[in-house]
Structure 1
């Protein structure tokens, strides 16, 4: 199996699409890190939004970032996730 890409998910704790994205990643055994932006402290949230404004200018969630921004998928689009992750 090829090396798995570095995967990070920006999500909201109350977002159904974010939950589906995590369930998809988990069920496909994709190693990933994530943060619930809405549960971060105000300072952390501001830093996250500032750090990701070029990747996700609309600040929509979920936002899947692969290999430090080589590929970014905003929203949960199963077919795009599969293609980007080689599933």
Structure 2
């Protein structure tokens, strides 16, 4: 598993140059891509865990139910 930090950022509006807080949390790379002078809003960090495999997002009972329904569908078309 991989832990990623997401923060609210103080960014500068590209048109007006006025400082504004980001409307959502961003990674450091995303924030600095938008504004090279961006700064983190203190105490706004949220650590998210990224799972390695997409199947990790589904509970195991859902995976069992998917595989059993696929098997049933496959058998019914073969007959």
Q: Name the TM-score class by shorter chain.
A: under 0.3
| Greater helix proportion | 1
Please identify the structure whose Cα radius of gyration is greater: 2
Q: TM-score under structure 1 normalisation?
A: 0.19
Q: TM-score under structure 2 normalisation?
A: 0.20
